[in-house]
């Protein structure tokens, strides 16, 4: 592999996503290979992956069964159209995913990413009501601070202001629940905060305001990840579920981050005991190795579409890369690897180790909150006056220079290592962060 740094001018063409391009290109950080828990950088550094790439490499990097499956697929069937055609791998991958999913989520619609999964789920929800003769149910309810990718549907129901404000009026008929975080009542919670179930009552108010018969779906991340790790209060999701049930509203869980063992169970729905009608996934579905997403759909929702003449296309929706053969091969191999290595249980076993390690940061410089669930932790820093995000960004760069990859969003540090992480590696990630916090201004 060519690990040489492109000459400065060669960095210009690539407009990098969610990146301060000019700052980055002045001091680039390039990853050139990866194996197990480590990246190698262009300047020969070994970087311990504290973030599973971007919350996706749950089985660790460069895993032989996944690499081999992709290689084999590429040499066998490079591409197959997925409209009015199929290939065996697509059906196998869908069956494997449905078998892993909570009971009742039996059907799988493949997409190419988390954003596509979210837009697909919202469209299925709208179309579901329409095919059942309730086409007036067009409203979608998201949540403040929610992240549902970057499609117009996703940013409309999403609640991160920076991701919305420059893109016009977005989808009409969307409302938002309040977010679930209150530091004064939940600060330094271990696992699910005790306070906050009542916040779900906001859904009853929204439903009353708009009239329940106008509402198609509610979408939430069961644990909000990208906004900076907001763990759902005990009882909160149960109340959302009950309100949706009372009013015939579909509940969508966006499990793009929480799926595939991140919370110590196959899905957050399993861990938290609340099953949605639709579930969006991506990332860990292929261990990040090939882009792929999916929407898991309940039998009741799926069957509502299967009522018309058999020759009729039931859903006018799909992507060129839905069920791409390489992605299906990667998904099958990934799900098998998770099972064979018992990685979801491993995440559950390591949860107390990560919890102890990160909560030891309480009282350290700049730390104003620590929270955790499964193999995820959020460490919130006091922002620098008039420079939100700058302090955490400095911590990110310093950790990288010290050989540990962390993720920051605003002034919140998120840790989400691959599920193969060892106790010693958890220790090293948190020790590095602790030392860096002493240096950060
Ligand atoms: C909850 C959630 N939904 C959707 C997405 C979007 O996924 P993608 O970046 O694959 O489009 C993400 C990505 O982080 C996510 O965390």
Count of beta carbons in the 10 Å neighbourhood of residue 55 = 24
Count of beta carbons in the 10 Å neighbourhood of residue 295 = 27
Closest CA to 92 of 336, 431, 315: 336
| C-alpha of residue 229 to centroid of ligand 1, in Å | 14
Backbone region of residue 269 per phi and psi (left: phi > 0; alpha: psi in -120 to 50; beta: other values)? alpha
Give the position, in ligand 1's atom list, of the atom nearest the Cα of 151.
11
Under CATH, what is the fold of the domain 66-340? Answer: 3.40.640
- Between β-strands 174-177 and 215-220, what pairing exists: parallel, antiparallel or unpaired? unpaired
Contact between 255 and 81 under an 8 Å Cβ cutoff? The reply is no
pLDDT of residue 3: 65
Q: Which residue's CA lies nearest to atom 5 of ligand 1?
A: 149
| C-alpha of residue 147 to centroid of ligand 1, in Å | 7
d(CA 44, CA 39): 10
pTM of model > 0.85: yes
Closest CA to 38 of 425, 330, 392: 425
Domain ranges (residues) in the chain: 8-63+342-439, 66-340
Residue 403 neighbours by CB under 8 Å, 6+ apart: 45, 46, 47, 48, 432
Pocket flag, ligand 1, residue 255 (CB < 6 Å): no
Buried-state track 11-42, b at ≥16 Cβ within 10 A, e below 16: beeeeeeeeeeeeebeeebebeebeebbbbbb
pLDDT of residue 167: 98
Count of beta carbons in the 10 Å neighbourhood of residue 244 = 22
Give the position, in ligand 1's atom list, of the atom nearest the Cα of 224.
1
pLDDT of residue 7: 61
Token readout for 390 is: 């700058």
To the nearest 10°, report the CA torsion of 421, 424, 430, 432. -110
| C-alpha of residue 115 to centroid of ligand 1, in Å | 6
Q: Own/partner pairs for 402-405, CB < 8 Å, 24+ apart?
A: 402/432, 402/435, 402/436, 403/45, 403/46, 403/47, 403/48, 403/432, 404/47, 404/48, 404/50, 404/428, 404/429, 404/432, 404/433, 405/39, 405/47, 405/48, 405/49, 405/50, 405/51
- Between β-strands 38-41 and 46-49, what pairing exists: parallel, antiparallel or unpaired? antiparallel
Closest CA to 88 of 332, 395, 407: 332
Q: What is the 3-state secondary structure (H, E, C) of 364-388?
A: CCCEEEEEEECCEEEEEECCECCEC
d(CA 113, CA 320): 12
Q: Which residue's CA lies nearest to atom 12 of ligand 1?
A: 149
One DSSP character per residue, 33-61 reads: EEEBTEEEETTS-EEEESSHHHHT-TT-B
Which of 118, 281, 282 is the pocket-test mutation for ligand 1 (most atoms within 8 Å of CB)? 282
Pocket flag, ligand 1, residue 59 (CB < 6 Å): no
Which of 58, 115, 289 is the pocket-test mutation for ligand 1 (most atoms within 8 Å of CB)? 115
Residue 2 neighbours by CB under 8 Å, 6+ apart: 32
Pocket flag, ligand 1, residue 119 (CB < 6 Å): no
| C-alpha of residue 435 to centroid of ligand 1, in Å | 31
Pocket flag, ligand 1, residue 281 (CB < 6 Å): no
pLDDT of residue 27: 94
Pocket flag, ligand 1, residue 344 (CB < 6 Å): no
Pocket flag, ligand 1, residue 294 (CB < 6 Å): no
| C-alpha of residue 69 to centroid of ligand 1, in Å | 25
Contact between 145 and 177 under an 8 Å Cβ cutoff? The reply is no
CATH no. of 8-63+342-439: 3.90.1150.10
Pocket flag, ligand 1, residue 400 (CB < 6 Å): no
Q: Which residues of the chain have pLDDT under 70?
A: 1-9
d(CA 209, CA 71): 54
pLDDT of residue 8: 52
Q: In what order do the strands lie in the sheet with 412-415?
A: 367-373, 376-381, 412-415, 407-409
Handedness of CA 116, 117, 121, 124 (dihedral sign): positive
Contact between 280 and 293 under an 8 Å Cβ cutoff? The reply is yes
């Amino acid at each position: 592999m060519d690990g040489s740094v492109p000459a400065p001018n060669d960095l210009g063409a690539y407009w990098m996503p969610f990146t301060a391009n000019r700052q980055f290109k002045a001091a680039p950080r390039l990853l050139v290979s990866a194996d197990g828990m480590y990246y190698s950088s262009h300047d020969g550094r070994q970087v311990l992956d504290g973030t599973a790439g971007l919350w996706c490499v749950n089985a660790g990097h460069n895993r032989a069964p996944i690499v081999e499956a992709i290689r084999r697929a590429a040499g066998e069937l490079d591409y197959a159209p997925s409209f009015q055609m199929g290939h065996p791998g697509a059906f196998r991958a869908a069956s494997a995913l449905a078998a892993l999913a909570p009971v009742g989520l039996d059907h799988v619609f493949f997409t190419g990413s988390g954003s596509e999964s979210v837009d697909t789920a919202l469209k299925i929800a709208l179309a579901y009501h329409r095919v059942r003769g309730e086409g007036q149910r067009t409203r979608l309810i998201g949540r403040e601070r929610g992240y549902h990718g970057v499609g117009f549907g996703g940013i409309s129901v999403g609640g991160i202001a920076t991701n919305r404000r420059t893109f016009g009026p977005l989808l009409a008929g969307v409302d938002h629940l309040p977010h679930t975080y209150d530091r004064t009542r939940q600060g330094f919670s271990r696992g699910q905060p005790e306070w906050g179930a009542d916040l779900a009552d906001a859904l009853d108010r929204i439903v009353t305001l708009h009239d329940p018969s106008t509402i198609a779906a509610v979408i939430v991340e069961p644990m909000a990840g990208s906004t900076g790790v907001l763990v759902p209060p005990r009882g909160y999701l149960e109340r959302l579920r009950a309100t949706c049930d009372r009013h015939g509203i579909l509940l969508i869980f966006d499990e793009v981050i929480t799926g595939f063992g991140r919370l110590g169970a196959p899905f957050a729905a399993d861990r938290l005991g609340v099953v949605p009608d639709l579930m969006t996934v991506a990332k860990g579905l292929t261990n990040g190795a090939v882009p792929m997403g999916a929407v898991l759909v309940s039998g009741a929702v799926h069957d509502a579409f299967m009522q018309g003449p058999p020759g009729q296309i039931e859903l006018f929706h799909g992507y060129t890369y839905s069920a791409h053969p390489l992605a299906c091969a990667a998904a099958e191999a990934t799900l098998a690897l998770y099972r064979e290595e018992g990685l979801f249980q491993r995440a559950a076993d390591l949860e107390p180790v990560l919890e102890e390690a990160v909560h030891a940061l309480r009282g350290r410089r700049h730390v104003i909150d620590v929270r955790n669930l499964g193999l995820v932790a959020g460490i919130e820093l006091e922002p620098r006056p008039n420079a939100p995000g700058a302090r955490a960004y400095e911590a990110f760069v310093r950790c990288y220079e010290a050989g540990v990859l962390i993720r920051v969003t605003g002034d919140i540090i998120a840790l989400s290592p691959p599920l193969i992480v060892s106790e010693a590696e958890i220790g090293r990630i948190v020790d590095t962060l602790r030392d860096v916090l002493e240096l950060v201004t």
